Structure formats: C-alpha cells, structure tokens
Amino acid sequence: MAFIFNDENLKSEIQSGKPVVVDFWATWCGPCRVVGPIVEDLAQAYDGRVLIGKYDVDEGGDMAVEYGVRNIPTLLFFKDGQLVDRHVGTTTRDALAAKIDTLL
C-alpha cells in the first residue's frame, strides 16, 4: 500500500535520504484515478527500496503550493532530499518504473 503523505510528514520523509516518490492527487480527479492503481502497484513493487506514496491536495495543500504543483496528478521524484524529476498527467506503469529506477 502506498504511504500517506501530509503536511506534517512530507518534508521529514524527503529529508530522510531515501528515494521518495510523491503522487499529488484528489478524489474528484479523473486522471488521478487512472494513475492511482499504478502508484499502489509500484509502492508494493519497490517496497523497502523507494518510499512511494500519495498526498491528497484537498486534505493538505501547503506542500502542493511549496512544490509548485498546479495540476494533478503530479508525481515528484526525490533523491538524497532533492527534487530530481517531475511528471504531470497520466502515464504508464513502465514509464513511471523507469523514472523510479533512476532513483536507485
């Protein structure tokens, strides 16, 4: 299961040094519902190697603003505490897995 990020834990998880992928989403977003199952699957596939989770922009919002998320779904990729990549919109599992592999 994907990790649940929020305004309280997102920065500390990013700064932990491990690779992190954050899916900024909302329940009402159609494209988010397409990407959601892919994120869940990848969270299981990379469990223990990459922290993959979801950040509900309706539940929080501060971190979405801080990272310049203007459209959802937006996936942010962090390595060693630094933002290294970003993907906006729908995509395939293979495309996301390739981006995640660069974090390892």
Q: Is 29 a catalytic site residue? A: yes
What mean pLDDT is predicted for residues 7-16?
96
**Confidence label for 104 from pLDDT (cuts 50, 70 and 90):** very high
CA quadruple 64, 67, 72, 74: dihedral, nearest 10:
-130
pLDDT score recorded for residue 29? 97
Residue 100 has pLDDT above 80, yes or no: yes
Q: Is 71 a catalytic site residue? A: no
Q: What is the 3-state secondary structure (H, E, C) of 53-74?
A: EEEECCCCCHHHHHCCCCCCCE
pLDDT score recorded for residue 20? 98
How many beta carbons lie within 10 A of that of residue 41, not counting itself? Answer: 15
**Confidence label for 4 from pLDDT (cuts 50, 70 and 90):** very high
Cβ-contact 43, 97 below 8 angstroms: no
Catalytic residue among 26, 29, 83, 97: 29
Query: 83-89: which pairs have CB atoms within 8 A and are 24 or more residues apart?
Result: 89/31
pLDDT digits (tens, 9 = 90+) for 41-99: 999 999 999 999 999 999 987 999 999 999 999 999 999 999 999 999 999 999 999 99
Catalytic residue among 21, 32, 72, 75: 32
pLDDT score recorded for residue 60? 87
Cβ-contact 58, 29 below 8 angstroms: no
